[in-house]
Amino acid sequence: MRRFICICILFFLLAGLYAEVTTELSLHSGSGYQRESNTDSLESFGSTGGAAHISFFSNESDMIRPRFELKTTIDYSSMGLVTTFVEVPKLYLKTRMPFSDGYTIRSTSGKETYSWGEGQIYNAADTINGARYASLTDTLGRFDSESFVQEDTKKNQQLDARSVKDGAVWGTGIFFPMGRYSFTEFLVGLPIDIAQGILFSLKEDGNGLNDTQVKFVGAGIDSSRSNRLIGFRTQFKAYEIKTEVGYMYRPFPLAAQQGEHQPFISIQGNLLADLYASNAFHITPEGDFSYDVGAGLFYGTGNFAIVHALDFRVEGLYQSDIEKFHIYSDIGYTYNDIMRFGLNSEMRFSDGYDGVLLNTSYTTDRNGRKSILQLGLLFNTETLVTIYYTGLVSYAF
């Protein structure tokens, strides 16, 4: 282990000398109360911690682009649990080779994030990350103090879909251009799960911190999904509509013992508002059939500027396998170029009403120094009422 740490330190020193480096530091905190009416018990929860995310990369070459990222999150929860999560968000080598007529074929080998389909919180066509990104819905159940730190960080950034797609894939992607604005991308996820991160945890038992647990976390924090996949997508524009069609085969998608064929389609265009829709089918070799279908729209106002502007987003998703319908809405008021107030909600229906979460957020961005403060109220069918706050500050340099 000591040798491994020495090698890592040496690697960072050498990489720092030869590569470009960006760093993002953040602090987060969250707490709240939860009341269960049938037991009439009141439970408090909370956690606080920080994260460091460092990226090494080189853009010197027109033919080769390497990238390595390391992220460490440390958290102390009110349950007396100290958790440290070390992960490698990205580790890849992109190479491209001349093909014809100036076009190049590109391959990406290693661990990389892939964003297929359309949607911010829901994306039915995202057969890689799943139809629902880490979102408000995660809190529709009881808060889990142990996983609060990881979920907390994601929830704090839930308005930004770019940050919540966390399902990076170990494997190889081939990018095949079919013109300047259309392409086909093939993707093969490795047939074995490789640990996405290492979770260390320490429990406080009154005599200090002990009971160390170290576990490798495969396929991200959400270990129910597998990296094993093979598929492709083709993106093109048809009558000003961005269109994406594709197919994915997942041998063991959700710990089930059979594979799934997943053809999908998504479209995006503009008709007064920005509109998008996605649809994926899930077909087993035995012929069992289910589907995810989702759609959304975004509209914003403003005097050709960013100040005193209102924006509105609504998204819906239906998942036929679990017979659940999700609705997400967000209304934002941008006061000036650094402050935005938001009110968002997520509702879930199955046979009847399932749960609703109301969340207010206050976001600032002062020249790269971002802060987000959220207050939320959650109700679900177990008449569980939760009130919570979360806060996050980050600085990239």
Give the interface with other proteins as residue ranges (CB under 8 A). Answer: 20-22, 57, 59, 65, 67, 94, 96, 102-104, 106, 112-115, 161-163, 165, 175, 177, 179-183, 235, 237, 240, 242, 268-270, 272-274, 298-309, 311, 336-338, 365-368, 396-397
CB of 6 to other proteins, least distance (A): 28
Phi, psi for 225 (deg, rounded to 5): -100, 150
CB 233 within 8 A of CB 239: no
Nearer to other proteins, 172 or 284 (CB): 172
Rounded distance between C-alpha atoms, residue 267 and residue 237, angstroms: 9
5: CB partners within 8 A, 6+ apart:
none
Nearer to other proteins, 50 or 300 (CB): 300
Q: Helix %, strand %, coil % for the chain, to 5? A: 10, 60, 30
Nearer to other proteins, 183 or 200 (CB): 183
CB of 242 to other proteins, least distance (A): 5
Nearer to other proteins, 114 or 281 (CB): 114
Query: DSSP string covering 235-254, please?
Result: EEEETTEEEEEEEEEESSTT
CB of 124 to other proteins, least distance (A): 16
Residue among 177, 182, 150, 181 nearest 166 (CA):
150
Nearer to other proteins, 4 or 18 (CB): 18
Indicate left, alpha or beta for 172 from its phi (over 0: left) and psi (-120 to 50: alpha): beta
CB of 80 to other proteins, least distance (A): 33
Nearer to other proteins, 23 or 213 (CB): 23
CB of 66 to other proteins, least distance (A): 12
Q: Helix (H, G, I), strand (E, B), or coil: what is residue 222? A: coil
CB of 311 to other proteins, least distance (A): 7
Give bridge partners of residue 49 from the DSSP assignment. Answer: 28, 75
Q: Helix (H, G, I), strand (E, B), or coil: what is residue 301? A: coil
Rounded distance between C-alpha atoms, residue 144 and residue 152, angstroms: 10
Rounded distance between C-alpha atoms, residue 236 and residue 242, angstroms: 6
353-366 and 169-177 as β-strands: parallel, antiparallel, unpaired?
unpaired
Nearer to other proteins, 21 or 52 (CB): 21
Rounded distance between C-alpha atoms, residue 162 and residue 141, angstroms: 24
CB of 69 to other proteins, least distance (A): 9
